[in-house]
Structure 1
Amino acid sequence: MKNLLLVLAISFISITSHSQEKNESEKDYSKNVSTLNNTIESLYHVISGEKGTERDWALFKFLFKPNAKLIPSWKNKEGIYEIRYMKPDDYIKNSEKWLVENGFFEKEIHRKVDTFGKISQVFSTYESFYSEADEKPFMRGINSIQLLNDGERWWIVNIYWTQETERQPIPKEFLR
């Protein structure tokens, strides 16, 4: 009986200790998704940082609904537009090293929101910089972001984007 009590006591201490460690390492991101605005701002903030700065990938993943997609589009060598479907983990795998090695800031310069019920479509115009101190962006484009409010929080369902080109400038209605 003493052995059983000892084993139970050790198990309880171990579980309690592990639970406390886990809780201390987990961050509460609920404020980041409490409003549509907070969710969009968190998206831009989490991928942005100076050269050498690690990103908070736990927050990045928290923004997305399971099975969400990130969908870049681009014109191939033949002049045909293509798209690629990525999960948030794919985006991290493909972008993490480049973001840290080069520095990257994506700043929203205009937003158009359409909402029906619990779904929203956001056209978010962005400018990209290597450093926050840069004055001229090296790239601009539009993120088409689809979101869902499930009654508890906002979720990013998809981000579909394309970059501005000389032949395809951003329309005036999507600029400041």
Structure 2
Amino acid sequence: MKEEYLKSVQTMDDIIKTSYACIGGEPGEARDWEFYRFLFHPDGKLISYENDANGNLRPQFLSPDEYISRIGHWMETKRTSGFYEREIGRVEERYGNIAHCISTCESFHSLEDMEAGKSYVKNVHSIQLAYYKERWWILSMYWQRATPEFPIPEKYLQYSK
């Protein structure tokens, strides 16, 4: 286990920001997928809401390894633009060693777009976390893209704890 990995899972803020930064990069640029796996509990899940063949929204469940083999491989080999995300709001709730965060992020095609604030999509993530073994773990990360049908509530565009 790398020492820098442990530094990134000591606070909820660190692990959430790291989860966004970890997958960012230019097309063809390798990501540190070992680091990404380290953020998740061994039974962790990623769940995205996507349209099925009929255009109906449905949840898609992936393990971190499935995410890496499907989406990660595509980001590194097929994507024609970069991919970067940053958080723009969070609502946290914590009781003891369990936490739930609603984290809103925006996505960019390049670092230049990010610096200029030119996002192409926004997502709302529901992130469940557990603290044990002297660190935070992501148990699940569940997200849905913002659309005109599902606009982002103002409270999710602010930071509150």
TM-score of the alignment, normalized to the shorter chain, above 0.5: yes
Distance 1:77 1:95, change over 3 A: closer
Map Cα deviations across residues 123-171 of structure 1 (whole Å, 9 max, x no partner): 0001011111113211111010000001510000000100011111111
2:108 corresponds to which letter in structure 1? F
Q: How many corresponding residue pairs? A: 151
RMSD, aligned CA: 1.5
Q: In structure 1, what is the equivalent of residue 42 of structure 2?
A: 66
Q: CA deviation at 1:79?
A: 5.0
Higher relative contact order (CA 8 A, sep 6+): 2
Instruction: Provide the secondary structure at the position in 2 that maps to 1:95.
Output: helix
Aligned counterpart, 1:170: 152
Residue number among 2, 7, 11 corresponding to 1:35 in the alignment = 11
Larger radius of gyration: 1
What SS does structure 2 have at the residue aligned with 1:166?
A: coil
Unpaired stretches in structure 1, ≥5 consecutive residues:
1-25
Task: Give the letter aligned to residue 59 of structure 2.
Answer: I
Of Structure 1 and Structure 2, the greater strand share is in 2
Q: Percent identity?
A: 39
Q: Return the letter of the residue paired with 1:85.
A: F
User: Which of 17, 28, 52 is the equivalent residue of 2:28?
Assistant: 52
Q: What residue is the counterpart of 1:116 in the other structure? A: 95
Whole-Å separation in 1 of the counterparts to 2:22 and 2:35: 7
Give the drift of 1:51: 2.6
**Which TM-score applies when normalising by structure 1?**
0.80
Selected match of 2:125 from 134, 143, 146: 143
Match of 1:105 among 68, 71, 84: 84
Q: Deviations over 1:29-61 (max 9, x none)?
A: 110111111111110110111233211101000
1:85 and 2:61 equivalent?
A: yes
State the alpha-carbon separation in 1 of the partners of residues 62 and 72 from structure 2. 14
Aligned partners of 1:170 and 1:77: how far apart in 2?
25
| Stretch deviating more after TM superposition (30-39 or 47-56) | 47-56
Which one of 94, 107, 112 corresponds to residue 133 of structure 1? Answer: 112
Contact 1:51 1:131 in 2 (8 A): no
User: By percentage of residues, which structure has more helix?
Assistant: 1
TM-score, length of structure 2 as denominator length: 0.87
Aligned amino acid, residue 143 of structure 1: H
Gaps of 5+ in 2: none
Cα distance in 2 for residues equivalent to 1:148 and 1:30:
15
The residue identity in structure 2 corresponding to 1:49 is G
